[in-house]
Amino acid sequence: MKIGFSLPQFGAQARAGAQVARFAREVEFAGADSLWVGDRWIAATRPTVGYAGLSTMPEEFGSVLDPFVVLTAAAVATERVRVGTNVLVAPLYSAVGLARSLTSIDVVSGGRLTVGLGIGWSPDEYAAAGVPFARRGARLDETLDALTAVWTTDPVSFGSVPEFRSVLKPVQRPHPPIHLAGFAPEAIRRVGRRADGWLPVVRVPGVDGQGARLRQARAEVDRAAREAGRDPGAIETVVRVNVARGVGAGEVSAAIEQIAAETGFEHYFVDLLYVVDSVDAAVETAVHVLDRLR
């Protein structure tokens, strides 16, 4: 089983951002397999759509470090762990700029980047970025086309962008693995057609029944892959474990073991956003989870 953790990026952890490198080194030394960042552009005070079905936004979303900066800090501080995004809201970015940033991280990390992308859920973030919310799915497809073009061809030509040189390529060939998030039917089909991995989410506490939901969704991913002439076995699943405040390492570990037994999935990462406020506590929690699962 592979176990990863979120990097210090949100809330009180963001205000201790100078300790990102230390967290990454210590958690890698403890045996972690992967380290991850998320993506929030704004936390609207009166959100059009709140987080996770609520009418509000978590307080932690008001303090967030740039995902590319945090991931770079972790990459240069470590030697072995995978570093990944789970997830970047891809339609909010210029595709060419996104390709440059991700190429840079893959090069700096020596080829350890996993690219996790999604379309998000907040109309307010799309308004802040000046991007039509209604086109989010189409823009994700366009971004996937653009990333593939930038990473695999030179010179590069796509859409209405002037042809340009792209000499610097990622270390990983043909490109870093691209994982996609989502449970909606079209998102699931897109994973099967286009992605190297799928990024579902479970919540702790309350994992009973979530394993069955994951198995069903993964079966749909596999069906879409076969319909597209792809090998479903080549599509990895990395499960993000969202943990509520007050839940201890023992309960987190037990939840992962339960989901693993019910699904057979082998890679999990624990989101420490709501679990702890300090980097020291984040390291301690990560070490305890690893001790219980190894």
pLDDT value at position 52?
84
pLDDT value at position 140?
98
pLDDT value at position 53?
80
pLDDT value at position 163?
96
Taking residues 19-23, report their average pLDDT. 97
Three-class SS string for 184-207?
Answer: CHHHHHHHHHHCCEEECEEEECCC
Taking residues 141-147, report their average pLDDT. 98
Residue 249 banded pLDDT, cuts 50, 70, 90:
very high
Residue 7 has pLDDT above 90, yes or no: yes
Pull the structure tokens for residue 111. Answer: 């080829």
Residue 17 has pLDDT above 90, yes or no: no
Mean pLDDT of the chain: 97
**Cβ(191)–Cβ(198) below 8 Å:** yes
Pull the structure tokens for residue 26. Answer: 């210590």
User: Under CATH, domain 2-293 is a member of which superfamily?
Assistant: Luciferase-like domain (3.20.20.30)
pTM given for the model: 0.97
Residue 16 banded pLDDT, cuts 50, 70, 90:
confident
Torsion of the alpha carbons at 57, 63, 64 and 70, rounded to the nearest 10: -150
Q: Please give the backbone phi and psi of residue 68, each rounded to the nearest 5 degrees, phi first.
A: -70, -35
